[in-house]
Structure 1
Amino acid sequence: MAAHSKLVFSKFLSESDIKKRLAVPSAIQRSLPPFNGGPALIFQFLHGTRFWPILYSIRTKGYNKPVFSGRLWRNFVIYNNLNVGDRFTLYQVQVEDGSSYYRVEVGREIDFLGINAMAYGSGSTADEHVITHHHQEELSLELSLGQPNVEGADN
């Protein structure tokens, strides 16, 4: 089935995002699952080949900014070795049958042969694939890196 991805939001992670909670832009609330009257819900997003449950909540007093927080967010941060300055990008993926799910990419800015690019990990430490993208004036560079194929190599 064909799927179509729509960017929900993207941001560089701050120290607060890494250590406590990821502040979600209020303007994109309509693109996320509705709270249905409550202050919090758990939804899942796909990162690499794994779905991650994430607590999505809004403060009930004061500034009601939505956040991804708690133990579930910290588990995602720690497992994926996220750092200040990494880019977190959330997409909503619409599937041909009408269903949808959320997908996340997390990347680091790198200097690739003098080109400022983003390196994205697969979310799997066993089989790391990094894809770098560079977009400038309708140009795009995509590079996939993986384990070398050593089958049949002369030693």
Structure 2
Amino acid sequence: MCTYGSGCFKWLLGQMQSMSKKRREMASFSKILSKTDVKKRLTVPIKFLKSLPSFDGGHAVKFEARDEGGEAWAFQCSVRRRGHRKPVLTRGWKAFINSKKLKTGDKVSFFKCKNRATAKTSYRVLAEKEIKIFGAIIGYAPLYPISCK
């Protein structure tokens, strides 16, 4: 879990750029995108449900996550009403994918952050493009927004 103040996201990006094991343990979850993740919905690990706001007996919960540029993205996580819960991100996911021009093989990470001073919880989302040389994946590069302002 990330505790943040004014510089939390810059700190997170610095941590993400290192290839340490510690970095991977900080993410609520990271995933290499599949064809279904890109075309329809993002299947998320069941353990991510503990990081989300309460479903309050329902089958869906909305939450907001900020990207590396500070832009807010509204997502909805849904689970099946019966049987295996199988959580997926539905609403807001396709807009995020299209905006970031993500493709199969790219990577996305979600983080839960808690402000120590206010105890307020927030979420961060980091998209990374797959880097290939001669067809071999050598790593992932974080996306940085290009501002025309």
Instruction: For residues 77-107 of structure 1, give each alpha carbon's deviation from its aligned partner in whole angstroms, at most 9, with x where no partner exists.
Output: 1111111001111111222212221101111
The residue number in structure 2 matching 1:17 is 37
- Letter of the 1:55 partner, please give it: Q
Instruction: For residues 119-144 of structure 1, give each alpha carbon's deviation from its aligned partner in whole angstroms, at most 9, with x where no partner exists.
Output: 0102x3436xxxxxxxxxxxxxxxxx
- After TM superposition, the runs of 4+ consecutive aligned structure 1 residues lying more than 6 A away are none
The residue number in structure 1 matching 2:147 is 126
Q: CA deviation at 1:40?
A: 0.7
Aligned length: 124
Q: CA deviation at 1:62?
A: 4.2
Q: State, as a whole percentage, how many aligned pairs show the same letter.
A: 32
Query: Equivalences for 1:29-44 in 2 at 5 Å?
Result: 29-44=49-64
The structure 1 residue matched to 2:123, chosen from 90, 94, 102, is 102
The DSSP-based 3-state class of the residue aligned with 1:126 is coil
The residue number in structure 2 matching 1:55 is 76
Are the aligned partners of 2:130 and 2:137 in contact in 1 as well (CA < 8 Å)?
no
- Letter of the 1:68 partner, please give it: L
The separation in 1 between residues aligned to 2:97 and 2:125, in whole angstroms, is 12
TM-score by length of 2: 0.73
The separation in 2 between residues aligned to 1:41 and 1:28, in whole angstroms, is 12
Comparing both structures, which one devotes a greater share of its residues to helix? 2
Please report the RMSD computed on the Cα atoms of aligned residues, expressed in angstroms. Answer: 2.3
- Letter of the 2:103 partner, please give it: N
Q: CA deviation at 1:108?
A: 1.9
Higher RCO (C-alpha under 8 Å, 6+ residues apart): 2
Query: Equivalences for 1:112-151 in 2 at 5 Å?
Result: 116-122=138-144, 124-126=145-147
The separation in 2 between residues aligned to 1:115 and 1:40, in whole angstroms, is 35
The separation in 2 between residues aligned to 1:60 and 1:27, in whole angstroms, is 17
The DSSP-based 3-state class of the residue aligned with 1:104 is strand
Instruction: For residues 16-66 of structure 1, give each alpha carbon's deviation from its aligned partner in whole angstroms, at most 9, with x where no partner exists.
Output: 001111001012211122211111121100112201000111111443211
Larger radius of gyration: 1
The DSSP-based 3-state class of the residue aligned with 2:27 is strand
